[in-house]
Structure formats: structure tokens, C-alpha cells
Amino acid sequence: MQEIRFIEAKQLKEKPDFKNLGFGNYYTDYMFVMDYSEEKGWYDPRIEPYGPIMMEPASMVLHYGQTTFEGLKAYYGVDGDIRLFRPEKNMARLNESNKRVCIPEFDGDLVIEGIKKLVNIEKEWIPREEGTSLYIRPFVIATDVHVGVHPSKTYKFMVILSPVGAYYKEGINPVKIYVEDDYVRAVKGGLGYAKTAANYAASLKSQIVAEEKGYTQVLWLDGVERKYIEEVGTMNVMFVIDGEVVTPELNGSILAGITRMSTIELLRDAGYKVTERKVSIQEVFDAYENGKLDEAFGTGTAAVISPIGVLEWNGKKITINDGKIGPVSQKVYDTITGIQSGKLEDKFGWITKA
């Protein structure tokens, strides 16, 4: 494996108030960086001071969006150890996203080494209070200085860190979700399964409309018929219908969440029936009418589990499980956060210690 250089900062920043972090507001002193060229492949992995990067205005990423990203977290355990949750899955997914937008493959083990090293250097930046963590954002950008639509020949890989507050400060709050049946986020054959900027640019407009109507996020339907459920903004979605957990199958336009995968694995292990298949929005509303919609929840790294309290579609508004978190959602939340904090045994082998 390549040697990871360390370039020391002349001065360290003052730390923010760890009681008021929010999400994505502060960045640490260092970042991981490596570069790519056709001759050298991925080269010069290093940890250097976090700061502005010099780019020419004609840099390709700025024009055609050839870029990908990931999101994971480092947690301070109750035992003082630093834990990463399934980072090898993030690396595999980033390589899948890269493949889709013609970014060359990288060595996931090398980047995990870089992340471990970076996180250890930045130990003091990891908040320790329950529910808090250090958010890790790996991303890749196309850096050729050229205006013209084709894949870049040079890239930059970076990993930046941001201390983040607890998602739920006063207990788990169910969210209100608006079902979008006009705009679409992705279609089969498109970019939906890749964590790439275009998908998020496509989502902004309807996110604003949903917020104006008093909703937290949008639930996307399929891009062809606007009939089948895809996912929420940055979360996959699951429903408990008549005791069975159902979730949209991965169809090429849905992001394959690692929290989704973990939820399915742990629920099956706990004896629940979990089915991945097409789920129409009509089916969910029918289940509600028949008194069979027990729970609905989103899964994602940021909140782990977001129970859905209210769902609006086509002028109809339903309140699920009295707007409270249900037993399945609670179980998944407690199990995953328990493993992440070291309170529960890592029986599935999901933890990498930093």
C-alpha cells in the first residue's frame, strides 16, 4: 500500500462550541487528499491542512458535474475507542458511483487507512456526547482545465471532516413527508444509484416546494409512471404493513443505502419478514385505509432512522402510528446506534476501529 504523507499545519483552528454544532457547519484542521493522472494512477496520498483549493474556472467539474461523494461517521465509543460503521461499504459504493460517471477506480483499503489516520490526528474534533459524531465526507472531482463534454483525465480525491451534533436532541421526532408526483429525481438507466451531484441538483426545486408547504422532505416516485415509491431525499424508505417490513427493491434509480442494508440484515436476524419489491404509493395509502399501515420510516447515515409521522400525496394526508415512533423503527434505531457507540456487541462485524 502507498505511504500516506503528513503535512503539518502551521496553526490549528479554535474549536467550535460542541453543544451547538448543527450539521455541516464546521470543518477540522486537516483533510486527506490524493491526485490522479493517466500516467501515475492515484498518487501522492497525503494528509494536509484543510483549506481553500486552487482551481481554474475552466475546471471540468464546475461545468459538467463529474463528481461523486460519500458520507459516513466516526463515533467515540463509551469505552473511548473510535468506531467507523462499515466503511468498506462506502468505499465499494464510491467506486460504483465513480464507474457510472467515468471516474477511475481507487483502492478502498488505502482510503480507509487515510481516514483512520486522519480521524486519529483529529481526535479532539470528535464530539463525545450521545448522538454526536464526526461526519466524514469523501469526494472526487474532475480537474482537467478544459471546456468540452468528455471524461476528465485528472482528478482530485479528498476527505474532509465535520463535527456534527445529535440529530435528535429531544427524543426522536417523526418527520412530515410530501410525496412528489410532478418532478422526478432519477430514472432507470440514469444516475439514481450513484452518489453524484446531479441527483441532488435535481431535487432542490421540489425540496423547496415541500418546505414551503411545511414538510421536511420529499418522497420520490418512479420517473416513468409516478406510481412506485423510490426513496426520500437522502434516505431510503421502509414500511411496516400488517407486520411485514417492505421496502422498494434496488432498481437502478434508488441509492443503495448502507443503513438500508444494515436495517434489512438486522431485522431478518431478529426474525422479521423483510421484503424488497416494488411498492406503489397507492398500496401504502390503501394499507392505511385498511388499518394495516403500522409504521413508515427513512434510513440513512445522518439520522439513522427517521420515523415518518405524516405523509401527503395527491391532496390526501395521513398520520402514521399517531405520529409517533413505532416498535420496529425504535428497535432498528437502538440496535444500530448501540453498535456504533459500543454499547451493544458488534455481532454482525460492522465496526472498524480507527
Ligand X SMILES: *Cc1c(COP(=O)(O)O)cnc(C)c1O
- Strand pairing class (72-76; 155-164): unpaired
Contacts of 296 (CB under 8 A, 6+ apart): 237, 238, 239, 240, 284, 307, 308, 311, 320
Q: Which of 143, 207, 253, 301 binds ligand X (CB under 6 A)?
A: 301
In eight-state DSSP terms, residue 125 is G
Q: Least distance (Å) from ligand X to the CB of residue 85? A: 9
Q: Least distance (Å) from ligand X to the CB of residue 71? A: 6
Of 206 and 299, nearer to ligand X (C-beta) is 299
Of 287 and 303, nearer to ligand X (C-beta) is 303
Cell numbers representing residue 294 in the block: 403500522
Q: Which of residues 156-195 bind ligand X (CB under 6 A)?
A: 195
Site for ligand X contains 231 (CB under 6 A): yes
For 39-95, the DSSP string reads TTEEEEEEEEE-------TTBTHHHH--EEE--EEEEE-TTS-EEEESHHHHHHHHH
Binding residues for ligand X, how many (CB under 6 A)? 14
Q: Least distance (Å) from ligand X to the CB of residue 114? A: 19
Considering only CA atoms, which of 275, 240, 276 is closest in space to residue 256? Answer: 276
- Cβ atoms of residues 153 and 37 within 8 Å: yes
Q: How many C-beta atoms surround the C-beta of residue 121 within 10 A?
A: 18
Q: Which of 4, 159, 221, 255 binds ligand X (CB under 6 A)?
A: 255
Site for ligand X contains 305 (CB under 6 A): no
Interface stretch with ligand X, choices 76-84, 151-159, 253-261, 265-273 (CB under 6 A): 253-261
Of 209 and 250, nearer to ligand X (C-beta) is 250
Q: Is 344 helix (H, G, I), strand (E, B) or coil?
A: coil
Of 9 and 166, nearer to ligand X (C-beta) is 166
Cell numbers representing residue 230 in the block: 423510490
Q: Which of residues 257-286 bind ligand X (CB under 6 A)?
A: 257-260
Q: Which of 114, 163, 300, 307 binds ligand X (CB under 6 A)?
A: 300
Q: Is 155 helix (H, G, I), strand (E, B) or coil?
A: strand
Q: Which of 71, 104, 108, 131 binds ligand X (CB under 6 A)?
A: 71
Q: Least distance (Å) from ligand X to the CB of residue 211? A: 17
Q: Is 103 helix (H, G, I), strand (E, B) or coil?
A: coil
Interface stretch with ligand X, choices 34-42, 230-238, 315-323, 344-352 (CB under 6 A): 230-238
Q: Least distance (Å) from ligand X to the CB of residue 157? A: 18
Of 59 and 236, nearer to ligand X (C-beta) is 236
The amino acid at residue 84 is L
Q: Least distance (Å) from ligand X to the CB of residue 89? A: 7
Of 206 and 234, nearer to ligand X (C-beta) is 234
For 281-341, the DSSP string reads HHHHHHHHHTT-EEEEEEEETTTEEEEEEEEEETTEEEESGGGS--HHHHHHHHHHHHHHH
Applying CB under 6 A, the residues found at the interface with ligand X are 71, 195, 231, 234-236, 255, 257-260, 299-301
